Amino acid sequence: MIPTADSSRLTRLLLTGAALIIVIAGLRAASELLTTFFMAALIAMLCVPVQNRLRKRGWSQGASVGLVAGLIILIGALLGLFVAVSTNQVIRKLPDYQAQFQQLEATTWTELDKLGLSEEVQNGLESFNIQSLFPFASSVLRGTFNSVGNVLLVFLMLFYMLVDAPNIPGRLRAVLPPDSQWLAKADRFIDSVQRYMLLRTVFGVVIAAIQTVAMLLMGVDFAVAWGVLAVITNYIPNVGFVLGLIPPVAVTLLEKGPVMALVLVVVYSVINNVIENFVAPRFMGEELGISTLFIFLSLIFWTWVLGASGALLAVPLTLAVKILLLDGDEGARGVAALMSDGAGENKTG
């Protein structure tokens, strides 16, 4: 029996789907090690330009690596110290928040009684199984401790990547033919990730600075700490804004009541939406060439595959798939078009 074009196409689709399932299963099985490697590779890509500038100014390979590694350790230590001090301050304030929470709870039940809704709310709370939250909380804590435990391994990988970085282009040219597109794709990918992370950092700092000033004017507790949190969560696409908003709003609700908490939500939302929807796209839209919907879907996918760290790695990994594997591949033109934001539609290839 001679296979038809439709049957051959179906066979290719089935084989591609089976291969994807195997690859995804492998990624999930090795997620802990891969996350460590990907984080080290991402930091190395951001540090290599600094290292190259030092080399051009006459620094030796060892001195440039040592300085970059020392700066990373210093930044990490300062950030860790800041987090530890802020956490200790929040813990000391918890007894006050507990009393304020009880007062807020009593006021809320009084208002619900006036509206005749207390019984319905009470029934809803009784039907909610609070113990169902413990497995989730346990998994979050376990993931956090695992991430902290992998910091040393990330740094060791990063150190050796920085040491070996100058030799990688020469090795690739020795292995790949002169007309290979992989070198151009690799350069494009690295440049895209570097520009994305730089712009993401700049806009994150600007947004957090404005939000911190607003919180200081409103008298919100730990305003600077929430500002630093906003910078960190800014690297998580789509939902990072919400994650950075929850703690300051909760503190404001307990300290100053629901009206001020609502004001803070409005202020946060306005600042974030103005910069993210009107300012940032002018600089970042054409850099990614990926639709907002697909970025959100990639966030879900990579978080599912790699865990919590996948949220931070979602955009760089999606850029890697798009630029290295899909762009320029005739068979993947449809997938690349679906990922495109429209602006970069004609730039692939």
Phi-psi region of 307 (alpha: psi -120 to 50; beta: other; left: phi over 0): left
**Is position 54 within any domain?**
yes
Q: Quote the Cα angle for 271-251-231, to 5°.
A: 40
Q: CA–CA separation, 238 vs 104, rounded Å?
A: 31
pLDDT score, position 51: 85
pLDDT band at residue 12 under the 50/70/90 scheme: confident
Q: How confident is the model at residue 131 (pLDDT cuts 50, 70, 90)?
A: very low
In a domain, 60, yes or no: yes
| pLDDT in the model for residue 210 | 93
Reported in sequence order, the residue ranges of the chain that DSSP labels E, i.e. its strands, are none
pLDDT range class, residue 126, cuts 50, 70, 90: very low
At residue 285, the pLDDT reads 52
Contact 55, 61 (CB under 8 A): yes
Give pLDDT tens digits for 199-226. 888 888 999 999 999 999 998 888 999 9
For the chain, what is the mean pLDDT?
Answer: 77
- Evaluate whether residue 281 is within a structural domain: no
State how many domains the chain has: 1
9-13, 38-42, 345-349: which has the minimum mean pLDDT?
345-349
Note the pLDDT of residue 266: 93
Residue 75 lies in a domain: yes
Two tokens at 1? 């029996």
Q: How far apart are CA 322 and CA 288, in angstroms?
A: 10
pLDDT at 133 over 50: no
Residue 330: what pLDDT?
Answer: 63
Q: What share of the chain is helix, strand, coil (3-state, %, to 5)?
A: 85, 0, 15
Which pTM value belongs to this model? Answer: 0.74
Could you tell me if residue 261 is inside a domain?
A: no
- The answer as to whether 95 is a domain residue is yes
Q: Calculate what percentage of the chain has a pLDDT beyond 70.
A: 77
Q: Phi and psi dihedrals of 179, rounded to 5?
A: -95, 15
**Per-residue confidence at 175, pLDDT binned at 50, 70, 90?**
confident
> What local confidence, expressed as pLDDT, does residue 209 receive?
93
In whole angstroms, what is the distance from residue 237 CA to residue 337 CA?
Answer: 21
Nearest to 55 by CA among 66, 45, 44: 66
Tell me, yes or no, whether 310 lies in a domain: no
pLDDT at 172: 72
Higher pLDDT, 138 or 105: 105
pLDDT at 205: 92
Q: Is residue 63 part of a domain?
A: yes
Q: Which domain does 52 fall in, by range?
A: 32-110+150-165
pLDDT digits (tens, 9 = 90+) for 299-341: 889 989 988 888 888 889 988 888 888 776 666 666 767 777 6
Structure tokens at 277: 């929807």
Residue bearing the bigger pLDDT, 240 or 150: 240
Number of H helices, E strands in the chain: 15, 0
Count the Cβ atoms, other than its own, within 10 Å of residue 61. Answer: 15
pLDDT of residue 111: 62
The Cα–Cα gap between 46 and 33 comes to: 20
Q: What is the C-alpha separation between 276 and 281, in angstroms, rounded?
A: 7
Q: Angle at CA 45, nearest 5°, toward 314 and 282?
A: 60
What confidence tier does 109 reach under pLDDT thresholds 50, 70, 90? low
